[in-house]
């Protein structure tokens, strides 16, 4: 799908009027500035021009397949079309706010903004204002142009005009940015309030929020409403009330299959802020490598990382958590257990289960963590004690997915454990009973460690833990990655909170325009028969078996933006045509912004 994000220099109508000695810049602005080139009609989308709507258009936009379709004569058997991106909107936010009122004709000029905040000591707000001030007043956004302007004999006219300097200077000026923030929390949580109000008024822009996280979301929206034309910053008259539909709007990154550089993680977090996503699910260990540099067990990364330089030090993790916190983003670590744990064994082979062929051990073949050894739990207790000290969130992701149970059946130690499990008949096989034994004990040990924490600890587990009937705490979150809406219904009817990821595996590369599929997928779709209030949201997942730091950003964005709007905006917002134009603008916006 071809697209464009370049600045245009078209001002034909203004020049023509100037030559005639009668400049009506108000007419130009009303007709052209900050408006989409495409105008929606009940029957079809036509180009904005002075024609009768019943006249057959020369070129039409078909949103279903992202094509420009050209009329053909009867003797042409195959219609002619060109795959193109839609013309972007100008100054419309993404994700779309819940209530959004704006004027097409009433504009304000912004030269500078003095900040008046009732929370002058709020460090998060201070840093955000400083960060966004640079974004507000970086003139990188002018106009769009299109090479179809040069198409001969097409009657294809959609020139976008620039208003004159005279008109720009005549606009009423906004000089103040006023905040009314009721609370300044230190770290975002699942229950954080991200709601806000924003309005332009006489001489000022007013932002209201119950907590500082809502103020951050308001600043992002404001940055998307401000447009730079002729080195002048303008904004429409706007009034909006906004809040997220779901409290958990996440991105999963996997830095174990391929190491992900700290710079790339910062880029992911910056893009998440632009899309109002608030959870980075950090998959930090897997069979392939163990990049987290533990101070308690240095051999985990010393021998388990791909290379000594491909690790995350305590300082790295602290810096990433702080970078995320200042943007209202939680960092939830995942150290997968008991499966997906082969790399733990490079530094500590005693943790894993030796697999056997009859009476003989199979050289180098180790299965999941050994549930039969007390030393396994002693080790994991010490390790997760460190994790709870380093990571600040209330939740830890324990994995618990794709546990290969066959190896346990070959190991004498684990087979002896089978005989000691009292409730083994409650499970479909002995291996699952041992898996439940491991999970119960690990969770119990971590909960004891977390008693010193003010908020304790809660757990997220992949769906296998639920489907295998493991005894997990009732306040756990089940993350669905292999299943449709019916599984979400089942999970919530059982009283568990749920996250959805099944349709949002961004790493699954497909040909063509795929974001509409992500956009229309919903954790709580039509006819949902579960408990909607237990659905917390979802995550777009970027697994890295075939993804590296060099490709992560281009694969993730802007496709994950479709997920972001689904998780933030109103459920009824399902217009692909309208979303396509705003997403095209947002893509260009993301390309222009730099990490601040």
Counted residue by residue, the chain has a size of 596
Judge residue 166's burial from the number of C-beta atoms within 10 Å of its C-beta, 0-12 exposed, 13-18 middle, 19 or more buried: exposed
Nearest to 405 by CA among 350, 353, 333, 343: 353
Q: To which H or E segment does residue 584 belong?
A: helix 576-592
Structure tokens of 322? Answer: 């702080």
Structure tokens of 47? Answer: 């180009």
Across the beta sheet with 67-70, what order do the strands follow?
Answer: 60-62, 67-70, 80-83
Q: How far is CA 71 from the centre of its chain?
A: 39
Q: 549-556 and 262-274 helices cross at what angle (nearest 10)?
A: 10
Residue 11 neighbours by CB under 8 Å, 6+ apart? 161, 162
The count of other CB atoms within 10 Å of the CB of residue 28 is 19
Pairing of strands 458-462, 80-83: unpaired
Q: What is the DSSP letter of 137?
A: T
Pairing of strands 458-462, 477-480: parallel
Structure tokens of 260? Answer: 């992900």
Phi-psi region of 358 (alpha: psi -120 to 50; beta: other; left: phi over 0): left
Three-state SS across 89-116? CCCCCCCCCCEEEEEEEEEEEEEEEEEE
Sign of CA dihedral 520, 523, 529, 535: negative
Q: To which H or E segment does residue 173 belong?
A: strand 172-181
Q: How far is CA 558 from the centre of its chain?
A: 9
Residue 497 neighbours by CB under 8 Å, 6+ apart? 475, 476, 477, 478, 534, 535, 536
Is residue 281 a contact partner of residue 324, using CB atoms and an 8 Å limit? no
- Burial pattern 48-81, b for ≥16 Cβ within 10 A else e, equals beeeeeeeebbbbbebeebbbbbeeeeeeeeeeb
Which of 104, 402, 413, 532 is the catalytic position?
Answer: 402
402 labelled catalytic = yes
Instruction: Tokens 């960060």: give the residue.
Output: 131
Reported for 56-64, long-range contacts at CB under 8 A and 24+ positions apart, including other chains, are 58/154, 58/155, 58/156, 59/154, 59/156, 61/86, 61/577, 63/576, 63/577, 63/580, 64/576
Reported for 440-444, long-range contacts at CB under 8 A and 24+ positions apart, including other chains, are 440/470, 440/471, 441/371, 441/377, 442/337, 442/377, 442/380, 442/398, 443/398, 443/472, 443/473
Nearest to 317 by CA among 293, 283, 299, 298: 293
Q: Which residues are catalytic?
A: 402
């Amino acid at each position: 799908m071809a697209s464009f994000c370049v600045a245009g220099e078209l001002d034909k109508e203004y020049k023509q009027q100037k030559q005639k000695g009668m400049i009506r810049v108000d007419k130009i602005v009303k007709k052209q500035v900050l408006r989409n080139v495409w105008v929606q009609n009940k029957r079809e989308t036509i180009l904005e021009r002075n024609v009768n709507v019943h006249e057959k258009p020369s070129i039409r936009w078909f949103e279903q397949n992202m094509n420009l379709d050209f009329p053909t004569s009867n003797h042409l058997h195959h219609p002619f079309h060109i795959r193109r991106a839609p013309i972007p909107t100008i100054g419309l936010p993404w994700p779309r706010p819940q209530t959004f009122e704006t004027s097409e004709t009433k504009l304000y000029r912004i030269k500078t903004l003095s900040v008046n905040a009732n929370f002058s000591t709020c460090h998060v707000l201070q840093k955000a204002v400083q960060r966004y001030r640079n974004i507000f007043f970086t003139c990188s956004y002018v106009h769009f142009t299109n090479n179809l302007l040069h198409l001969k004999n097409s009657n294809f006219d959609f020139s976008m005009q620039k208003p004159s300097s005279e008109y720009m200077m005549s606009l009423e000026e906004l000089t103040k940015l006023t905040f009314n923030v009721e609370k300044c929390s230190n770290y975002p949580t699942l229950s954080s309030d991200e709601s806000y109000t924003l309005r332009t008024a006489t001489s000022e822009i007013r932002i209201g929020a119950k907590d500082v996280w809502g103020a951050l979301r308001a600043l992002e929206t404001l940055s998307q409403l401000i447009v730079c034309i002729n080195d002048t910053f303008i904004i429409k008259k706007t009034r909006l009330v906004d809040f997220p539909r779901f409290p958990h709007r996440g991105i999963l990154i996997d830095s174990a299959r391929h190491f992900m550089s700290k710079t790339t993680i910062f880029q992911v977090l910056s893009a998440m802020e632009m899309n109002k996503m608030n959870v980075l699910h950090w998959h930090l260990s897997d069979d392939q490598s163990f990049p987290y540099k533990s101070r308690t067990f240095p051999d985990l990364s010393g021998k388990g990382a791909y290379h000594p330089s491909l690790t995350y030090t305590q300082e790295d993790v602290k810096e990433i958590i702080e970078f995320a916190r200042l943007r209202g983003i939680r960092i939830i670590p995942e150290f997968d257990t008991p499966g997906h744990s082969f790399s733990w064994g490079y530094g500590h082979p005693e943790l894993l289960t030796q697999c056997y062929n009859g009476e003989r051990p199979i050289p180098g073949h180790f299965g999941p963590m050994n549930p039969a050894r007390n030393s396994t739990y002693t080790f994991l207790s010490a390790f997760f004690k460190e994790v709870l000290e380093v990571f600040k969130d209330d939740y830890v992701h324990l994995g618990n997915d794709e546990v290969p149970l066959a190896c346990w059946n070959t190991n004498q130690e684990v087979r002896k454990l089978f005989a000691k499990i009292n409730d083994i008949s409650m499970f479909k096989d002995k291996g699952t009973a041992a898996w439940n034994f491991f999970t119960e004990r690990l969770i119990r040990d971590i909960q004891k460690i977390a008693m010193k924490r003010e908020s304790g600890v809660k757990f997220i587990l992949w769906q296998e833990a639920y489907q295998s009937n493991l005894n997990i705490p009732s306040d756990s979150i089940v993350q669905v990655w292999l299943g449709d809406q019916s599984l979400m219904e089942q999970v919530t009817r059982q009283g568990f909170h749920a996250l959805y990821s099944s349709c949002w595996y961004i790493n699954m590369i497909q040909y063509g325009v795929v974001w509409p599929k992500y956009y229309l997928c919903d954790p709580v779709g039509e006819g949902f028969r579960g408990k909607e209030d237990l659905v917390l949201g979802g995550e777009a997942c970027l697994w890295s078996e075939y993804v590296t730091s060099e490709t992560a950003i281009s694969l993730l964005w802007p496709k994950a933006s479709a997920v972001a709007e689904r998780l933030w905006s109103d459920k009824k917002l399902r217009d692909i045509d309208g979303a396509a134009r705003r997403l095209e603008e947002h893509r260009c916006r993301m390309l222009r912004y730099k990490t601040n």
